[in-house]
Structure formats: structure tokens, C-alpha cells
Structure 1
């Protein structure tokens, strides 16, 4: 028996962030964020370090409670973690080193009480989707960094999430592997149909992957500064004139936020007059 990608999950889930603020003690991490994410959309959160991208993603996952506002998925308010919202972290340390690739991917279905036959079918389905059939019986320590990230993605997808949340998942990879993983992520997203919210500080990565790019202001009390729609054909080439023009706009936007943050710290003199980020 082969279990195909669940059609309800494949359509993704619409998500609404409405007036969200997140505070840690006296520190206001993000403030007044409102953003609607369409079912099946690939949204990138882009911004300078420390602007609250990962904090907002953690709230979407249900790990971090919001202080104000609401986050809803299909009109249901998020009040904690759920297998319908899968998280892919930057580090592959989340994998179980003592389990094989197949066992790692089948772990979620096993915890949900599915039969061994269903577990095996789902594991095979998603191991194939990420291109690791030949490595299904290897352990994480026997894989490259890029392959371990593929296992993480497959393990999340095996839970049939409606939303996949990704926190700089390729940030620790070398440049060549990162490029390969970006193209693979584009393919995996199109084949799975999940809604994806992807945190990055890499402008080119956002352009290659996103339907829309939400640029965040520098923290504290970070918010959404601008939203850009990426109307470029897939697969994308970052050296195309349209991609270069978008890159320049995003660079100026983020550069302005970096300079503002440095001014707040009295460090803006590191920038020459008129110098871009």
C-alpha cells in the first residue's frame, strides 16, 4: 500500500497574524504585526539579526505565547504546538542519532498511533520526496549536512502538516550545498503544497524561494516594514535583471534598518555618508 500526500494537507492552511506583540519581561520583541498568509503560499521573513524573525516563527509554532493580538490557522487560534505546524530548525541536532533515516521519518506517525504499515508507507513516501531512498537505512552521523537537513524536512512532512515553519534551515551549510538545498526546497514545496513560512537573513535565498517577502524592522518592538511580491518564474535565477532589481530594493530596505539600529547604539559612524548596506 502506498499512501499519497494527504490532499487536505497538500492545500496548506491560510494563516492570519493580527496585531501581534510579543514581550519578554520588559523587552518588547515584536509589536503590532499583522500579516495574512494564503494557503499554499511560500512566505519569507527577512530582516537584520535580532529583529524578531525567529520569535515570530516560534509564536506561529505555538512555542512562544503572544502578549497581544492573535494568530489563527484556518480561523482556529493557536494556543500551543500542533503536528499541523511542523518546525524545521537550522541545526540537524533535532534528529535522533540512534535511529536510522527511515526510523527518524517514521517517528511522528508512530507517535500518532498509526499502524506499522502506515508508518512505513509514509516514511517511504517522504524519504523519496527528499531524494534519500538509497540512504534510508543510514544513521544521521553517516550523512552530510545537506542530507541531514533533508531528513529533517521529510520527518516534518511525514506528519502531514498544513504549515511548515523553517528557521534558517540552510544557514549552517556551505555555499554550494545551500544552493542545492534551495532548489530542492522549491521542488519539495511545490510537490507537497504546504504553506511555508521561512526565516532567513539571506536576500538571494528569499528571492529564489518566496512568493512574498516580508521585511521586518530592526528591534526592539520590530514590525513589518514592507512586503514584496516576487513575480518571477520558477526555478529562479538570482542573476536575472528582475532579481537584481529586487535584490537592490531589499538591500536598501534592510540597510536602512541596520543603520537605524546602529544609530540607537551610537555606532552609525561605521557607515560612510551615503553608503548602502
Structure 2
């Protein structure tokens, strides 16, 4: 599907609007070119093309089951593509590597038997860095996510939001140029989720990484993204439209521009949800669905 761009596309390579990382940060440019991914006879995504400038925060938004997480897993190198290509700073993605970090929705990836500092220091440890370097790196990124005071605790002693921040710190401690996030706040309560969204915006600006963030929450995308890529309903999902979010940070959800963008995104997602429901035999698919809110 041909990529559509709406509401003021920013030329590739230009610094993000609204307080993003300055040009020349350590993020990497990501290219998705005509990508198709399938499993057996099932086609998950088809003919997806996206160019993500270095340092951008891109949200992938779409109805459940549209292949957002599948595309993210391909970017991480976990899933092969059937057609097209994926590159990071021009180098083909052929598998996982330290230049790409993945943050999952669940915090079960943390090692419960290790302290918070040991969890964050795990990557530097595997890279063969000295104990002093491991601890210094862990403390640096725990300070970045506001958890330096929790360094000697264990994950089970922390709240869900704090554990998720530990997971983010652990990924950043590997100094990836691209951070891939698969609905990382989806399991949190509404209040904690809002705090984590604000914290993520701050952490991203401080780190300078390129971020690709999967969500089905329109408001979350508006809080975080430089651009929002809306995916069509699956199977064989594509890109329906790409919106630039040229709004100052922190975002004001009552601003007219925010309200207009929310309405456009809600309309696009609503169309895809209703199309999916009709294909499933639900003829009376009304406008108000959970995915379109």
C-alpha cells in the first residue's frame, strides 16, 4: 500500500519538531522498504514502506491484530521478511544485534534473583566490560530513569511502573541506536501509564535514540510521537496514513491542533476496525468501538 502523509510531513533527516533530540544525536535512521511478512499461508503485513529519520519517535498505531508487533519483531531481527528490506543506517537487518534494543510489554524479562543494578549492568557485563564500568553504566541509566535510589532492591520489591523503567534502563545500558517498544505500558493502570508516557518522552529526549513504539492507544501516540503511522486492519496489513505531530512538548491534549489530530486518527482507526468486523461477518459495526477510542 502506498504511504500517505498528512498534516505537514517533515522532510527526512530534519530535526523533530516540539523539542526532540537535536540533529546529530546517536539515533540511527531506519528504512522499511516494500516489506511483506508471513507465516505459512498467512500474510501478516504486505508492502510496507516507512523511512524513519535518526532520532525520531515514531508510533505504529492500528487495530488489534494488524501486524504492529510482527513488524516490530522484524525490525528487531527476530522475524524474517518474505519480501522487501529493512535497514538501520543503510545496513540490512539480518538478526538481533546490540544496536537495536527491545522493550516488551511484560516485565518478566527482568531477572528476579538480581538486584536492579545487576539487571541493568547485565548487558555491559556480557560485553566484557569491567565491574566498575558495569556499575557506572547501570547507575548512569538508573539515574536517567529516576531509579538510582532503587539500585540495590530486587524487581519484586518495585511497582509495575518502576519495573518497566528498569527494563528501559537495561535496554539503554547497551547504548542501542534504535529502541523498539511493544506496548510497554499496556499492562499498567491508567494513572501509572500517564506518568510513564511523560517519563518516556523525557528519557527519549535525553538519550537521543530513534524509537519505534507500538500502541493501539491514540492518546498515547499523541503524547509521544513525532509521527504516527496508522496501519490498516489485517491480514495483509499496510500503511493507511502517516501523520506528523508538529506540536510543542509537553503536549496539550486540549489544544485545537491536538483535538483535530485525535479526530483524524480516531476516524482512520474506526474505519479499519469496522472493515475488520464486516469481514468477520459483523454487519452492524457501529462507530464506537474500543479500538477507535
Normalising TM by the smaller chain, what interval? over 0.9
- Give the TM-score taking structure 1 as reference length: 0.94
Given the alignment of the two structures, is residue 128 of structure 1 paired with residue 128 of structure 2, yes or no?
no
Match of 1:158 in 2: 173
Query: Do 1:207 and 1:247's aligned partners in 2 also have CA atoms closer than 8 Å?
Result: yes
Query: Do 1:9 and 1:160's aligned partners in 2 also have CA atoms closer than 8 Å?
Result: no
1:203 counterpart (215, 218, 230): 218
Residues 171-227 of structure 1 deviation map (CA, whole Å, 9 limit, x = unaligned): 000000000000000000000000000000000000000000000000000000000
Match of 2:10 in 1: none
Query: Do 1:13 and 1:194's aligned partners in 2 also have CA atoms closer than 8 Å?
Result: yes
Match of 1:94 in 2: 109
Match of 2:271 in 1: 256
Query: Do 1:42 and 1:196's aligned partners in 2 also have CA atoms closer than 8 Å?
Result: yes
Distance 1:95 1:236 in 2: 31
Query: Do 2:29 and 2:54's aligned partners in 1 also have CA atoms closer than 8 Å?
Result: yes
Distance 1:272 1:188 in 2: 36
Distance 1:9 1:230 in 2: 21
Given the alignment of the two structures, is residue 26 of structure 1 paired with residue 41 of structure 2, yes or no?
yes
- Give the TM-score taking structure 2 as reference length: 0.89
Match of 2:4 in 1: none
1:47 counterpart (44, 62, 68): 62
Query: Do 2:23 and 2:55's aligned partners in 1 also have CA atoms closer than 8 Å?
Result: no
Query: Do 2:278 and 2:285's aligned partners in 1 also have CA atoms closer than 8 Å?
Result: no
Q: Return closer, same or farther for 1:153/1:134 CA change in 2, 3 Å cut-off.
A: same
Paired residues for 1:233-244 under 5 Å? 233-244=248-259
Three-state SS of the structure 2 residue aligned to 1:71 is: strand
Paired residues for 1:169-184 under 5 Å? 169-184=184-199
Distance 1:217 1:238 in 2: 25
Greater helix share, 1 or 2?
1
Match of 1:16 in 2: 31
**Runs of 5+ unmatched residues, structure 2:** 1-21
Residues 87-128 of structure 1 deviation map (CA, whole Å, 9 limit, x = unaligned): 000000000000000000000000011111111111010000
Three-state SS of the structure 2 residue aligned to 1:228 is: strand
Match of 2:130 in 1: 115
Match of 1:67 in 2: 82
Match of 1:4 in 2: none
- Number of matched residues? 269
Three-state SS of the structure 2 residue aligned to 1:107 is: helix
Match of 2:99 in 1: 84
Q: Return closer, same or farther for 1:230/1:236 CA change in 2, 3 Å cut-off.
A: same
Match of 2:284 in 1: 269
**Runs of 5+ unmatched residues, structure 1:** 1-6
